A and B are shown apart, each in its own frame.
Chain A
Amino acid sequence: MAKHETPLLDELESGPWPSFVTDIKRQAEKNPDCWDILGLLELSFKERITHWKHGGIVGVFGYGGGIVGRYCDVPKQFPGVEHFHTVRVNQPASKYYSTENLRALMALWDKHGSGMTNMHGSTGDIILLGCRTEALEPFFWDLTHELGQDLGGSGSNLRTPANCLGQSRCEWSCYDTEELCHHLTMHYQDEIHRPAFPYKFKFKFSGCSNDCVAAIARSDFAVIGTWRDDIRIDQVAVKEYVAGKHPANGGSYIGGDWDAFSIKKEVLDLCPTECMWMEGDELKIDNAECTRCMHCINVMPRALRPGAHGGASICIGAKAPILDGAQFATLIIPFMEVSAENEFENVIDVIENVWDWWMEVGKNRERIGETMQRVGLPTFIKVMGLDPIPQHIKEPRSNPYVFWEEEEVPGGFERCVDDFRKRHAA
């Protein structure tokens, strides 16, 4: 039985879409505190102002993250949401669960919290919505001791790393995303559980440029699989695609009224660097020009595969729009070996180089992408100890000025005026 009248919210249950209002009502039948979520939101709709306060609590004992404190400013009216803290739980790599584990997690959250969840939050974590302050420690004890699971990151911590399912299921993965994600999660436990930076910092790992975890859009430090050698071509299978024996894109477009497969229209003409052509019925690729976008491989997976020499590109600085608009990460290192054999030492070196610089130069609440934008890419590349390469350039320059550093000029900026005057009289 509804505890509050919610005519405005009820409208959100009309229409063909799933509704969070319906979901919360269903949960409220089980846990009456949840009626107060609806009551509070209805009040906010009426008064056009939020009644959530936030800030404060950051963790359980010894932790400086993982819990996001939330309170409502009208607790007498809505006691069920007086405290409504969010708990972030580190998700398993690739989000593989057993049904047993899912049931145990839900039972645990019904016991200590509202029972409401968000599977998963944008960072990747399991988000458990709504519990009281006094429930936090008992919840944490059970989570760690019974389920062997841990909190994720929040605030100015390293955020919970996330990966695409990579080599566990995907033939395209150019490195072991799960292994790297797990290794760095363990290596940086201190940074995940306690604040470490002027602001948040996120890692994400995709096995190829299809980028199934959207690393390039959502992480400060994106590791995206790529290959160094040539795309592997099976010319027999190419002919079979051309003859219509295999459906394009693994059959994703079956049923639409597309014309018969055209390798020219659907592959060659759509290659962003125009580096593919046919010689008779042989497919040719100028691999030096290929930008490893995955398009041709996605269309003809039986015929084309990423090269055998896998590794990753490092892109830095994606962020959401709070300042200066949203931006994708910028390619910084085009290819890097990624191997568990050296415990990912080269990846860790790059990460720590970036952190040392950003902690020093970044302003309060400035994402690294904003710091890069402020100092300019040439400066950032220099800080990273890299030489500029054509891939760093987004478009031909529109600025006519060329700046030289003194050490780049033979003889430097010192000159002999007398010598100059011999050639140019004053």
Chain B
Amino acid sequence: MGMSDEEIQAAMIEKATKSPKAQLYIKDFYKCDPDTKPRMIKNLANDLVKKGELMFWSSGSTTMYARPDRIKNEEGDSGVN
């Protein structure tokens, strides 16, 4: 029996809270449940953004995910483009 959406989302929140880097790539979440297709993980991540549990952070060319309380303000200073 695979994980439920809620269980996967809980694992994603935990990962985003504990990871050394505040901003995570979507691929970093795939491991939360290797049996779930990447496009489904993407939908679950975007749903967490809708609920305010995660936020998007983009350099312009790549979008990453973060816990809102781990990003100082919208002027995050990572230099990737």
Chain A residues packing against B (C-beta within 8 Å): 53-59, 62, 64-65, 68-69, 71, 86, 133, 154-157, 194-200, 355-356, 359-360, 363-365
Q: A64-B46, A195-B26 are in contact. Are A53 and B56 (CB under 8 A)?
A: no
A261 to chain B, nearest CB (A): 48
A338 to chain B, nearest CB (A): 24
| Cα(A68)–Cα(B74), bound, Å | 12
Q: A53-B77, A194-B46, A199-B61 are in contact. Are A58 and B56 (CB under 8 A)?
A: yes
Counting contact residues on chain B (CB < 8 A from A), the size range is 20 to 34
Is B57 a contact partner of A56 (Cβ separation < 8 A)?
yes
B58: interface (CB < 8 Å): yes
A52 to chain B, nearest CB (A): 11
On chain B, the residues within 8 Å of A53 by CB distance are 75, 77
On chain A, the residues within 8 Å of B4 by CB distance are none
Which of A53, A194, A200 has the largest count of B CB atoms less than 10 A from its CB? A194
* CB-defined A-B contacts under 8 Å, sample of 13: A53-B77, A54-B59, A56-B76, A58-B58, A62-B50, A64-B49, A69-B75, A200-B61, A200-B62, A356-B38, A360-B38, A365-B61, A365-B62
Is B63 a contact partner of A54 (Cβ separation < 8 A)?
no
Chain B residues packing against A (C-beta within 8 Å): 25-27, 30, 37-39, 42, 46, 49-50, 56-63, 74-81
Q: A69-B74, A198-B27, A364-B27 are in contact. Are A55 and B60 (CB under 8 A)?
A: yes
Given contacts A55-B78, A57-B74, 18 further A-B contacts (CB under 8 A): A54-B60, A56-B76, A62-B50, A65-B63, A68-B60, A69-B60, A69-B75, A155-B61, A156-B26, A156-B62, A195-B42, A195-B46, A195-B56, A195-B63, A355-B39, A360-B30, A364-B25, A364-B27
